[in-house]
Copies of this chain bind each other. A is one copy, B any other.
Amino acid sequence: MRITSIREKAVSIPSAIRNAVIDFSEMTVSVVAIVTDVVRGGRPLIGYGFHSNGRYAQSGILRERLIPRLLKAAPEALLSDSGENFDPFKAWRVMMSNEKPGGHGERSVAVGTLDMALWDLVAKVEEKPLYRLLADRFRGGVAERDVYVYAAGGYYYPGKDLSALQDEIRSYLGMGYHTVKIKIGGASLDDDLKRIEAVLKILSKGDELAVDANGRFDLETALRYADALAHYPLKWYEEPGDPLDYALNAEVAKRTTVPLATGENLFSFHDARNLVRYGGLEASRDYLQIDPALSYGLVEYLRILEMLKEHGWSWRRCIPHGGHQMTLHIAAGLGLGGNEAYPGVFEPFGGFADNVPVENGRVRLPDAPGIGIELKAELMKVFQSLA
């Protein structure tokens, strides 16, 4: 049982959207296919991986460092002790050999991309959907059959007014979402409050709108927004300040009654632990959004979850960034609090299996082996182009 080849390319996912910090007009994503000598249905078994949006394709690190290390490793060095399946934990150590500690960006995305393909492969070898495999291995077999999802949108784009924003939100409600998220911080506070009020008008009850500043604010602005946001029934106030400014986060956490959410721009166990140690978050109120596909993969995410448990955090407080099937499986298999979704953007990487609608704010898990990338026709076309 061995890997016979690993294919990789960078794919463009341009979009006209903009958050408070960047535009997505030149966004790219890496896709990988890990081809094996395991034969199923007369064809070699292949694991597919990609990474979440917002960080660019990682062709350099994949081609120059990680893929050569996996291909150079003795085949058994990548297998479970029984030799009956691939072992993502062992593969992780191989990928990270001769890598220094610290500096958790980019490399974490490249590892996360290959880690996704490895878990896809492992679940396919066991002929289980990934969420089921994860529940069996790490949660005594208890899995959720559907997962809470929220629609992340409300991006800024040229010419978009309040009524266009309301139309966008109505379209999410029409798709079956209950909770929506909009960007703040890319306009003045006054304008952002008007946007918030416009959206609240069309939501059926409170606690269904989250707002996201994408780490843009300095302390004074973060607190000014915190004070203003406290007048609305918000689901959460996301990334007020720089993701690494734990002191700012702690100040906002102390001042506000609105739940905070952050972590999508922390890409390692060590950074996540620092957030928990220093960020002033409340385990009974706040949310953690660390994204496994950008953060050294599920192997590292399991370390993060273990650390959270030791610090008294329920995994239900975790709602990963990413908006794709990998995080959906992790949420269902490990019992997280939910998953992000980006209706209509970052396609075909965003979203879930074709023909599985959002119902009552939740998404069901597919039964196909692996992550179910084969269940998204447009996404499979991307992977077929790798051949």
Which residues from chain A sit less than 8 Å from chain B, CB to CB? 10, 21-23, 25-26, 28, 54-61, 63-65, 97-108, 214-215, 242-247, 265-268, 270-271, 273-274, 277-278, 294
Main secondary structure of the interface of A (DSSP, over half): loop
Report copies per complex.
2
Cβ-closest chain B residue relative to A101 = B215
Whether A10 contacts B243 in the complex (CB less than 8 A), given A99-B22, A265-B100, comes out as: no
**Complex: how many Å from CA A291 to CA B245?**
21
Collect the chain B residues with CB atoms within 8 Å of residue A56's CB.
61, 64-65
**Complex: how many Å from CA A162 to CA B57?**
46
**Complex: how many Å from CA A266 to CA B274?**
14
Chain B nearest CB, measured from A155 CB (Å) = 14
* Contact (Cβ within 8 A) A104 B101: no
Whether A244 contacts B274 in the complex (CB less than 8 A), given A64-B59, A265-B100, comes out as: yes
Cβ-closest chain B residue relative to A28 = B64
* Contact (Cβ within 8 A) A103 B265: yes
* Contact (Cβ within 8 A) B265 A244: no
Collect the chain B residues with CB atoms within 8 Å of residue A107's CB.
105-106
Collect the chain B residues with CB atoms within 8 Å of residue A98's CB.
22-23, 25-26
Return 18 A-B CB contacts under 8 Å, by A number.
A10-B64, A21-B100, A22-B100, A26-B98, A28-B64, A55-B103, A56-B64, A61-B106, A101-B242, A101-B265, A102-B105, A102-B242, A102-B267, A105-B106, A244-B271, A245-B270, A246-B278, A247-B277
Cβ-closest chain B residue relative to A270 = B244
Cβ-closest chain B residue relative to A246 = B274
* Contact (Cβ within 8 A) B100 A55: yes
Cβ-closest chain B residue relative to A241 = B101
* Contact (Cβ within 8 A) B61 A57: no
Which 6 residue pairs are nearest across A and B when measured between Cβ atoms?
A60-B60, A103-B105, A102-B265, A106-B106, A244-B270, A102-B243
* Contact (Cβ within 8 A) A242 B215: no
Chain B nearest CB, measured from A246 CB (Å) = 7
Cβ-closest chain B residue relative to A216 = B101
